[in-house]
Amino acid sequence: MNNVLFSGPSLPPQQIGEIPGFCCLPPAAQGDIYRAALKRPHCIGIVDGYFQGTPAVWHKEILWAMQQGIHVYGSASMGALRAVELAPFGMRGVGRIFQAYQDGRLIDDDEVALIHGPVDSGYLCASEALVNIRFTLENAVQAEILTQLHSDRLIAQMKAIFYPGRSYPALLKHAAEFMTSGEVDELAHWFKSGTVDQKRADALAMIAEMHNAPDTPFFPAYQFEHTTSWDVFVVAAGEAGFIEEREAFAPLLTELRLDPARYQQLRQSALSELLRSGACGQEPNQAQFNAMAAQASDQLIGQSLLNPVLMRQLAASGGLPELEQRAAAKRQYIDRTYGSSPKFGDLMLTPEQLFNWFFQLRLQQPVPSDLEFCARQLGFQSLGSFCRALLDELVYTEGNSGS
């Protein structure tokens, strides 16, 4: 394996084809750069990476990869963001998007964010990245299709929209609020051939740069600092595998988290194993262990690094088949009954009623005062993901009296 490329919606696999000397992988999540670096490629290129719901690539794993003599490139999306942040250490940014962040013309991460489908859909995009809209409108102004004043106003309106709602149809709808119908029609017609996919262009430019990488290894001008957090990360990341491998046990973790006492017991055991494994090969004393646990626990939950260890311990205890069977039965029931996971409106239910059902009726305990904190303690990425799990559990439990 000479080069590794992490790419998704910016440059889907079907648009890349087979690139000699490249191993093409899905968008990078936390730990993926470290695992790729273990195979000692000559170059690693990061185009796409996860932002929400999945922990993002950690700066330190990129620094470690470069410390191993690997050239690391970034462009277009998550890669451009990390390249700007790590350019002083030698990460190489490529493309107009990277340069715009480097120059301070772009600041916020959401400029490159979008909603897309899974890999089997070809990462079908359901929204448009604001950075592509910016470059498109810049060209429209140069082509005298749009005034600079109107362009600035449209950019401001698109910026104010949460990124999943950004699209060219949404832009035209806003344009109709202050432009004439003729101007809007002219802009819509121009969009048919004038839109710019700068993310794709930058990704292709980065691949070309990687082809021309120096033959010699990368020589860092910094010393990599080993810390307890890094040692723990290494142990956990070595367990995890790439993201498509980790998705398989996500439903099983959800089932486990709906039994809070059991989950907390296994979580503590997994944390203990990780901390003891990461303590430079030595058994820490109790004071050291307590200090390490306080430092690492929330970080590890946030990074989802505990999950592979936790699942391995669950398998060793013999509890995995039961969870697999229940998760599969629940999914089949929900798909058959609702087509997809139910929403509050489908059940005519309020969040308060849902939490009362789970905590007061099911667990026989008061509803926590801080539900966000409770969701995080149970390993959910957000209160919203906790609610979705509870809605699925409610309809399955009520629809299957024997469950």
DSSP 340: S
Residue 379: pLDDT over 90: no
Higher pLDDT, 158 or 253: 158
CA nearest to 48, candidates 107, 100, 97, 99: 97
For residue range 76-128, what is the model confidence (pLDDT) as tens digits?
999 999 999 999 999 999 999 999 999 999 999 999 988 877 777 778 888 99
Q: Which range among 60-74, 122-136, 270-284 shows the weakest confidence by mean pLDDT?
A: 270-284
Residue 284 and residue 392: Cα distance in Å, rounded? 42
pLDDT at 291 > cutoff 80: no
Looking at every residue in the chain, the average pLDDT score rounds to: 85
DSSP symbols for 217-264 = PP--SSPPPP-HHHHHHHHHHHHH--HHHHGGGHHHHHHHHTSHHHHH
**What percentage of the chain carries pLDDT values higher than 90?**
53
What strands lie across the sheet with 43-46, from one edge to the other? 22-25, 3-6, 43-46, 71-75, 92-94
Q: Rounded to the nearest 10 degrees, how much is the dihedral formed by the CA atoms of 58, 45, 70, 234?
A: 30
The answer to whether the beta carbons of residues 8 and 121 sit under 8 Å apart is: no
* Residue 229 in this model has a pLDDT that exceeds 90: no
- Where do the domains of the chain lie? 3-116+200-211, 127-196, 228-399
Yes or no: say if 137 and 129 are a contact pair by the CB < 8 Å rule.
no
pTM for the whole structure: 0.65
Model confidence over 37-89: pLDDT tens digits? 988 999 999 999 987 667 789 899 999 999 999 999 999 999 999 999 999 99
